[in-house]
Structure 1
Amino acid sequence: MSGRSNRGVFGKLFSKKQHNKDDRVTEIGMPTNVKRHIHVSKNLETGMLEGLPAPWLRVLNAQITPAEQNENPDAAIKAVIFHMYRMEREKALDEPFKPFVTPEAITKEDLEMKKLVDHKNAHQSQDSDLSIGQSSEDDVVQIDSFPQRQTMPAAPIKHNLKKKEPQLDLSAVLEDLTLIGGEPEESPIMRKKEINSTLTDEEVYEELRRICNKDDPYVRFERVKDLGAGASGVVFIAIDSKDNSKVAIKDIDLTKQSKKELILNEINVLKDFNHKNLVNFLDAFLSFDHLWVAMELLDGGSLTDVVTEVIMKEGQIAAVCRETLQAISFLHSKGTIHRDIKSDNVLLGMDGSVKVTDFGFCANIVGDEKRQTMVGTPYWMAPEVVTRKQYGKKVDIWSLGIMAIEMIEGEPPYMKETPLRALYLIAALGRPKIPRWENLSPNFQDFLDKCLQVDVDLRATADELLAHPFLECAMELKTLTPLIKAAQKILHKNYD
């Protein structure tokens, strides 16, 4: 999952019921009422925050000004923690797909984020200007304010044992990361499988042989055009001899995959998700150590190509929003969250069909090179993703609203900012400004208002938006075809 985003950063956190030799399960209640004090202080000379791991502070201080840290310290802290967590996950990335996300995966992610901060702080020098204590209630980030002078930021921040001035507590409360949905007083109970549930490589191969098509893919498919290669395999266009249709195929070398059971789980997930507005899984083929995964080919490329090169009419934007919402509604009905809705992950057919993808078979290969190579881009993220507050299905609705801004402006808000600064701005400012707001119809304005509510309770659901008056102006999908052709001509792209 890469595109411009770190496609796959959270893939390892996807939880799928695994094959068990032992059906025993252990009910594990996650810790409740746990408080960790992270004392973050302001440096006397620079006015910048201190108290997190030194490398994190260097990144924070390089990208977020003292004035911004002073004005929104909680947003700055949450942004840097989330950003550095994502970067750590990226280092360890080795899974082939990005699966859809479940609430259980989000809970695991929250706990891993806590563990990362604990681990990094545990390795801080005893001489560092850190004070971490524990008690038994909620997570708290305590920001201690010290007298400041108007000086230039000092590079790198020095930690010492100099006696500080009396502290003024500006405590900012971090929400309990274990609470994702449900009533505030509830903590979800995780169902944890025994360790012996993990399959061996041979068991994975045996199961793949059972579920895969028995045809020889090298005989059945004629390779037409390579689209690119990534860490997990090669992507190419092929002609299926069964019906002469064109398909997108990812050839995965299983010898290079350290966690083969993830592949098996995700193939099973793909088979269960079939919808007219999703890029659908077609079949899987196993030939020795190579797994070929065939997916629908959308010959119009990604929506990114269109939004960056062509001006879209409101009726065309409404049509794309409607089709995308139908995919989101379907996923939400299955209890899953997409969590990566953006133009890179919306693929188009030359007939104007609109389909959401999340697995990188084409979107991460054929997009704009600059947007592909950026790691961990957060520009479509809802504020609660950064702050970990009321995190659930409605993150997809926020991202849809940001994608609508893409279709208006050609790019999402903060695209010219670094990922960390973008995270800070999302957490600190909430809803972004829309430059051409006054030019939009009242229905479009109201649609965006309902997508971009910072208060999750006020944000619309997918089904509510499908009934919104803005979608009544949707033009026929075939009106997208000239836009696709124009973008392909400008970008010198085609799928022949």
Structure 2
Amino acid sequence: MYKDLTPIQSSPSVSGVLKHGYISVKEEGLKAFIWSKRYMTLRELTLSFHRNESTPQALVLIFLKDITAVTRTDLKAYCFELVTKDRSYFLSCKNDEELYSWMHEIYSRSPLMGVSNPTNFVHKVHVGFDPNTGNFTGLPDTWTKLLTGSAITKEDYANNPQAVLEVLEFYTDQTKRNEDEYGTASLIPNSLPVAPSEAEVDRWANLMPKQQAAPPRPLRPDDRPYIPERSQSVDNLAVTQRMSSLAIYDDKGNQQRPNLAPRGPELAPHSPGYAPPLSTSPNKYNNAPPSASLRQPSPYGLPRNNTAPIGKPPVAARPAVADAAAALEGTGAPKVVVERRISTMTEQEIMEKLRSVVSSGDPSTLYSKIKKVGQGASGSVYVAKHLTTNTKVAIKQMDLSLQPRKELVVNEILVMKESTNPNIVNYLDSFLVKSQELWVVMEYMEGGALTDVIDNNKLTESQIAAICFETCKGLQHLHSQNIIHRDIKSDNVLMDPQGRVKITDFGFCAKLTDQKNKRATMVGTPYWMAPEVVKQKEYGAKVDIWSLGIMAIEMIEQEPPYLDEEPLKALYLIATNGTPTLKKPETLSAELKNFLAVCLCVDVKSRATSRELLDHEFMRRAGPAHSLRPLFDFKRGER
């Protein structure tokens, strides 16, 4: 395959080997039918193919800056495609773990993956940690200043230097992008998920009955260069953050997780049928030796499908042959046209898209503003009434010239138009006035945000269950349409005295498509983000489940975890502690604690889905709609 290529000597300026191993390679073009066994070596800036492990010369040298896509393909059972500016390579692995590991490492170091990351400079300098001095080496000046002014200690550096670097990058990027009323903006995840090993799965059983502390975990190589990584599966269970990450929509080669109830196909990958308990001791790692079996009963009583195999599902025999036969018969699926994402459009294209979805006419002839109820950097929110029906509505009025990210506005309108549901604040209409003034008319929720309810009440478990149940119904609707909200929190859940609970604020929603079945951007409000989002991993809809769990803690304790910590320290705790520690776990029912446990699993595959949560035992404790009415008694004095 490569005999006509001149061997390339690896560049002496390239840093040391980060990953290496044998792999089967097939190149597109004239010799596309040939698979060759090659020794692949990944360095910080390059990927090279060698004849064998003892051959220093590279047959092919690919610069990571030239890689434009890393995607899984059905060409073989465990195969992915590497696309460069010049050609494509198909790489076949032995198993899923190896496949995702390679994809993870290559993806995380390829600058052209997704949106440009303003902190990519970290990949071009040798950032390290010197355990003798207890200091980082090669840090950019900006990061050095941030660390000096933060509450992160040298002990934190030594305990988990990788996490310190992750939160520095996250915080820097969030600060740079946090320019408008929508909050934080997108970052690029730096890895793909790796399916848990059988040993990791087995360790779940031992984590359940014990709450004792264990020795600190040994660190493993992470998705970032130079600093060792922690396991992101079971080992990350302890005190976690209020950050919200997404589920991974991966239907190829992953185990199927048993459902809690037979509700049809689910969007998320497999997981064991139960989750670890929340830690009740701060800053402890709940590790246990992998000796117990999954057959032992779950102490939380969640049913498991004991007949389902733990192994991977069978791979369809020779899918490429079947595809070829279908193509020959003319019965193959038509080529899919990849839908262009709004975030990649120019401002002119975004405005054209916006004009195509808004209504014509003057909204002031249809609606009369009653009072202003909110103010943002680029606009205001009003309560208004329809002049014909006298129906109250909410109107978000924005000056687009002051809106630096117009694509979020268009995204919000498009998602709301597609998502009519009793548990979602319904979109009614929109108007573009004088080219730059946008009116978005929405359903009015008299009670306001859940945040106000939390600040003025001590909620019962029955009320918490009712609010979680209604919110989860809205999430299940979104997830069934492959939509991720990505910013679930008490500010974005609205209520009224009639007991209605609805999700709002869809600026950060993402649509999962066949071409993009995992998201690769970091958005949302940091305190509600799941650990995998902070670590910049790819994700799916389960980020909303984590956020729902954090919102439940907010209803229990009146605030999310780490709210009193300064930002960098909070991000560090989120990245390192895992599942949050409850302040008074002994006051909560077993059902509520288990609900939090299945929402706040660090291991994404073991985290519950929205469909499963609807059948959770805690949801059966939800009170009727009128049970929420007393939560608005505090508003009587405001009228």
Provide TM-score, normalisation by structure 2.
0.54
Contact kept? 1:376, 1:419, Cα under 8 Å? no
Residue identity matched to 2:572 = Y
Q: Is 2:141 the partner of 1:54? A: yes
Q: Is 2:176 the partner of 1:88? A: yes
Q: Is 2:420 the partner of 1:274? A: yes
Q: What is the DSSP-based 3-state SS (H/G/I as helix, E as strand, rest coil) of the residue aligned with 1:351?
A: coil
Q: Which residue of 2 aligns with 1:250?
A: 396
Equivalent-residue separation in structure 2 for 1:77 and 1:200 (angstroms):
34
Q: Is 2:599 the partner of 1:451? A: yes
Equivalent-residue separation in structure 2 for 1:65 and 1:194 (angstroms):
41
Equivalent-residue separation in structure 1 for 2:616 and 2:353 (angstroms):
45
Deviation at 1:58, TM superposition (A): 2.3
Distance 1:207 1:60, change over 3 A: closer
Say which of 188, 200, 219 aligns to 1:109.
Answer: 188
Say which of 391, 401, 409 aligns to 2:557.
Answer: 409
Identity of aligned residues (%): 43
Deviation at 1:268, TM superposition (A): 2.5
Distance 1:109 1:381, change over 3 A: same
Q: Which residue of 2 aligns with 1:303?
A: 450
Q: Is 2:477 the partner of 1:330? A: yes
Which string of whole-angstrom CA distances, capped at 9 and with x for unpartnered residues, describes residues 315-351 of structure 1? 1000001001111111111212212111111111121
Contact kept? 1:339, 1:396, Cα under 8 Å? yes
Equivalent-residue separation in structure 1 for 2:401 and 2:373 (angstroms):
22
Alignment of 1:23-34 (within 5 A): 29-30=69-70, 32=103, 33-34=105-106
Q: Which residue of 1 aligns with 2:229?
A: 172
Quick check: 460-469 or 375-384, which moved more?
Answer: 375-384
Q: Which residue of 2 aligns with 1:182?
A: 250
Q: Which residue of 1 aligns with 2:359?
A: 213
Alignment of 1:329-408 (within 5 A): 329-359=476-506, 378-389=526-537, 391-408=539-556
Contact kept? 2:129, 2:137, Cα under 8 Å? yes
Contact kept? 2:375, 2:381, Cα under 8 Å? yes
Q: What is the DSSP-based 3-state SS (H/G/I as helix, E as strand, rest coil) of the residue aligned with 1:347?
A: strand
Say which of 424, 429, 435 aligns to 1:283.
Answer: 429
Deviation at 1:416, TM superposition (A): 0.4
Residue identity matched to 2:632 = I
Equivalent-residue separation in structure 1 for 2:448 and 2:339 (angstroms):
40
Which string of whole-angstrom CA distances, capped at 9 and with x for unpartnered residues, describes residues 237-257 of structure 1? 111113111111111223444
Distance 1:264 1:301, change over 3 A: closer
Q: What are structure 1's unaligned runs of at least 5 residues?
A: 1-26, 100-104, 113-136, 144-170, 361-374
Residue identity matched to 2:593 = Q
Q: What is the DSSP-based 3-state SS (H/G/I as helix, E as strand, rest coil) of the residue aligned with 2:424?
A: coil
Distance 1:387 1:110, change over 3 A: closer
Residue identity matched to 1:347 = L
Contact kept? 1:87, 1:376, Cα under 8 Å? no
Contact kept? 1:302, 1:347, Cα under 8 Å? yes
Equivalent-residue separation in structure 1 for 2:160 and 2:611 (angstroms):
35
Distance 1:247 1:443, change over 3 A: same
Contact kept? 2:533, 2:539, Cα under 8 Å? yes
Say which of 151, 164, 170 aligns to 1:63.
Answer: 151
Distance 1:260 1:456, change over 3 A: closer
Equivalent-residue separation in structure 2 for 1:463 and 1:236 (angstroms):
35
Equivalent-residue separation in structure 2 for 1:194 and 1:317 (angstroms):
37
Q: Is 2:502 the partner of 1:434? A: no
Residue identity matched to 1:267 = I
Equivalent-residue separation in structure 1 for 2:158 and 2:528 (angstroms):
25
Which string of whole-angstrom CA distances, capped at 9 and with x for unpartnered residues, describes residues 31-61 of structure 1? 655355843123865x233333121122124
Say which of 225, 231, 234 aligns to 2:380.
Answer: 234
Which string of whole-angstrom CA distances, capped at 9 and with x for unpartnered residues, describes residues 347-396 of structure 1? 11121210111248xxxxxxxxxxxxxx9852222111112346221111
Equivalent-residue separation in structure 1 for 2:575 and 2:355 (angstroms):
47
Residue identity matched to 2:457 = V
Q: What is the DSSP-based 3-state SS (H/G/I as helix, E as strand, rest coil) of the residue aligned with 2:422?
A: coil
Q: Which residue of 1 aligns with 2:618?
A: 470
Distance 1:455 1:493, change over 3 A: farther
Q: What is the DSSP-based 3-state SS (H/G/I as helix, E as strand, rest coil) of the residue aligned with 1:268?
A: helix
Deviation at 1:398, TM superposition (A): 1.2
Equivalent-residue separation in structure 1 for 2:627 and 2:376 (angstroms):
34
Q: What is the DSSP-based 3-state SS (H/G/I as helix, E as strand, rest coil) of the residue aligned with 1:56?
A: helix
Contact kept? 1:139, 1:174, Cα under 8 Å? no
Contact kept? 2:486, 2:524, Cα under 8 Å? no
Contact kept? 1:309, 1:410, Cα under 8 Å? no
Equivalent-residue separation in structure 2 for 1:376 and 1:270 (angstroms):
17
Equivalent-residue separation in structure 1 for 2:251 and 2:438 (angstroms):
43
Q: What is the DSSP-based 3-state SS (H/G/I as helix, E as strand, rest coil) of the residue aligned with 1:110?
A: coil
RMSD: 3.6
Residue identity matched to 2:622 = A
Q: What is the DSSP-based 3-state SS (H/G/I as helix, E as strand, rest coil) of the residue aligned with 2:458?
A: coil
Equivalent-residue separation in structure 2 for 1:305 and 1:51 (angstroms):
45
Q: Is 2:631 the partner of 1:483? A: yes
Contact kept? 2:457, 2:631, Cα under 8 Å? yes
Distance 1:259 1:398, change over 3 A: closer
Contact kept? 1:450, 1:460, Cα under 8 Å? yes
Contact kept? 2:248, 2:542, Cα under 8 Å? no
Which string of whole-angstrom CA distances, capped at 9 and with x for unpartnered residues, describes residues 272-308 of structure 1? 1211111111101233232211011111011111112
Equivalent-residue separation in structure 1 for 2:248 and 2:606 (angstroms):
17
Distance 1:183 1:334, change over 3 A: closer
Question: Which one scores higher on RCO, CA 8 angstroms, separation ≥ 6?
Answer: 1
Which string of whole-angstrom CA distances, capped at 9 and with x for unpartnered residues, describes residues 425-478 of structure 1? 111110111112111111112111111111111111111110011111111122
Contact kept? 2:412, 2:505, Cα under 8 Å? no
Provide TM-score, normalisation by structure 1.
0.69
How many pairs are equivalent? Answer: 384
Contact kept? 2:535, 2:575, Cα under 8 Å? yes
Distance 1:185 1:63, change over 3 A: farther
Equivalent-residue separation in structure 2 for 1:275 and 1:191 (angstroms):
28
> Which structure has the highest helix share of the two?
1
Distance 1:356 1:263, change over 3 A: closer
Equivalent-residue separation in structure 2 for 1:432 and 1:194 (angstroms):
35
Deviation at 1:206, TM superposition (A): 6.2
